[in-house]
A and B are shown apart, each in its own frame.
Chain A
């Protein structure tokens, strides 16, 4: 076994356990720089973040392997590198709050507490998958977890998420909607149509832009006139801020602030999480639009899992052994999911013609 060499902490990482006063809610004040997080989380919370991010990482690595073995087909957009975004956001919201995202969705589903077995079996196109094998990597839903999908059309999640927020406002239930989309999606027209309606009707929707700097092979600088994507709400009076999407605590804090704003009835909020995808856009990607050095540098210096690992060990929240135990637990979950996904049978051929339309009584 290669002993993992812990990288030296950057000065900004060296946090202390400290009780922080609840963040004051000043939605109108824009932040100039990304908020710096200090290690203000309980040891249990830190370990939970570590575990949740590691589960996504290992799950995605396994999915990549299974793709290589021909068990998964078509598109398979891995979330490796971006784990802190969904885990941090989930920590600042309630289970009853809704989540909707794009095709890069496996991490979001796991963070919502969906069963890794069901997700992996959908990737292999088997009956045990969340969509009974009919949806695949990009299309899974779980109403009981308030997860509204996986959507393959770039930009679609924004208006759909705005609609979920409209329903929540209509139902007067104080739930918020986390609407995820990418930096590339941020240029679609429906995003701005949605912003306008959300601001006009003060809808409780948090637009989380996962800015991983590339849309397929196009960097934000090559596609986008205003590259500060969180400022894109200015014209509608929607407050926005940016956070370090490679730092789970920074994401958690930023989302908490936005959630407070929304639950106070002040309408939508835009959060730009600065992140990075390590892998290709989908499984095979010519990777000519960025250098290997660029990827290696981010992995070495900004990796969200290494980062929290360091925070845990540095702060003494847990020992190396405790982390190893988590590694083992996560590995077992992923292995189990992969086994399940291979053993679950293909859908019965009769499934071809089911679920196209539904009768009123079946919908009850």
Chain B
């Protein structure tokens, strides 16, 4: 029986791709490990390697074909004694080719860790940002590019700013956030470190003591656990312990929160951990424009700033203002969808879900106001309280665990400042109170989603 060679997925979320090139012709011998074809997606070029050995039988999908669905049979591999004739028989199960293993021209991550899942652009409108002057031209770029541009602009502006971390230079960043920085700034200012988080976080803090402005990238914040001692004990407390003598201008940045299918050690949200520490500032943007404006602010800030990004958002394209020097204030939330019936507060990727929920609620006649917290320390409680005074109802959303989370903090603030304004008890929509499971069905269950937010909003409106 011939073996079916099927269109492989480059990541669990890839659905289709282009069959760019056949490197073997019908009748060519194929050995395990031979590259037989190249496929492309919007993110990467990948080679398909043969796993079984045999002869390439009929090619069923011609090169240049676009939109080839994953798992489509693209060719047949004939085993010993078979000819193309027998290949007409139904191909046996299995897959004669290997998932691609190399992407010579990867412009985007799909990189080392997990391939960034393609995120559908939310079909929601975001309210105009009052910080952007009316009439400003906008350019659509990805969150990844916005972060890179912020670093590049600050590095051009200030010689003391430099970037260090694992794979930030030659590899262009594990998630390609530092793409092009090595080429522009050289290896003095874009520094690849060994895998030594505790060590290089301390090295960064020491350099900040001496007056530099390091940006320390953690490949993900899961690995910052190795370094959290320096973040808290050496960075956050030093200004205080020195009676104001020793400021620590440093940014610790990287992806935080759940990625896709990477299980408990690689999928967790540390926002509330850092947000509880005096001496730190904590920023967690959602949009590309905020990512840029706030990262620039973080780099200029004279304090240690924890800058929490999100892997799944890196590839999302959004509009960023074409302004010479777009710097946003740290510590200010933003109303991203004005409304009157219920307030939904969220940060980072949960803003996406909250905005989608806002659209669904509108369709059901509930006018939700969505607030993007953007900064978690200092928390802009005034914006939240003001909204609640108007709507009298609130749902708080975060992807992290519920216990001692950011939502729990908001509940406490509302008890103190807006108790009499509430017409219903606040409801939280959070990640479930469990380590992140690997199984696809359990993982989906463990995370917030727009439907859960819609349900919560209806319940505080007594509409369920």
Contacts and interface: CB of A to CB of B under 8 A. Distances in A.
Contact of B171 (A188, A216, A279, A292): A216
Contact of B51 (A65, A153, A154, A288): A65
A104 to B, nearest CB: 13
Interface string B33-59: 100000000001010000101110000
Interface stretch (A69-77, A203-211, A234-242, A267-275): A69-77
Interface in B91-144: 94-95, 97-104, 106, 110-115
Contact of A139 (B31, B193, B226, B263): B263
Given A154-B195, A189-B199, A285-B103, A134 B95 contact: no
Contacts of B261: 73-74, 125, 136
B297 interface: no
Contacts of B434: 352-353, 356
A286 B103 contact: yes
Interface residues of B, number: 75
Interface stretch (A40-48, A218-226, A246-254): A218-226
A287 B101 CA distance: 8
Contacts of A278: 33
Interface string A50-77: 0000000000011011011110111100
A282 interface: yes
B101 A133 contact: no
B439 A134 contact: yes
A129 B314 CA distance: 32
B30 interface: yes
A133 B264 CA distance: 12
B187 to A, nearest CB: 10
Interface stretch (A83-91, A93-101, A258-266, A343-351): A343-351
B263 A70 contact: no
Given A69-B71, A135-B263, A1 B81 contact: yes
A35 interface: no
A1 B54 contact: yes
Given A135-B263, A189-B196, A64 B51 contact: yes
Nearest to B198: A189
A323 interface: no
B349 interface: no
B305 to A, nearest CB: 25
A217 interface: yes
A242 B420 CA distance: 72
Nearest to A346: B441
Nearest to A299: B33
A356 B440 contact: no
B343 interface: no
B440 A75 contact: no
B10 interface: yes
B171 A218 contact: yes
Contacts of A188: 195-196, 198, 226
B223 interface: yes
A206 to B, nearest CB: 22
Nearest to B266: A152
A1 B8 CA distance: 23
B196 A187 contact: yes
Contacts of B113: 75, 282
A280 interface: yes
Contact of A216 (B81, B94, B167): B167
Contacts of A154: 195, 223
B319 interface: no
A161 interface: no
Nearest to B267: A74
- Most chain B CB atoms below 10 A, which of A73, A155, A351: A73
9 contacts: A65-B8, A65-B98, A75-B262, A133-B439, A153-B265, A154-B223, A283-B10, A299-B33, A347-B437
Please provide the 9 A-B residue pairs with the shortest distance between their CB atoms, ordered closest to farther: A1-B80, A68-B8, A68-B99, A136-B438, A74-B261, A73-B261, A287-B102, A133-B439, A125-B439
Given A151-B265, A218-B192, A349-B441, 10 more contacts: A2-B31, A4-B31, A68-B6, A74-B263, A75-B266, A136-B263, A139-B265, A152-B263, A349-B445, A352-B434
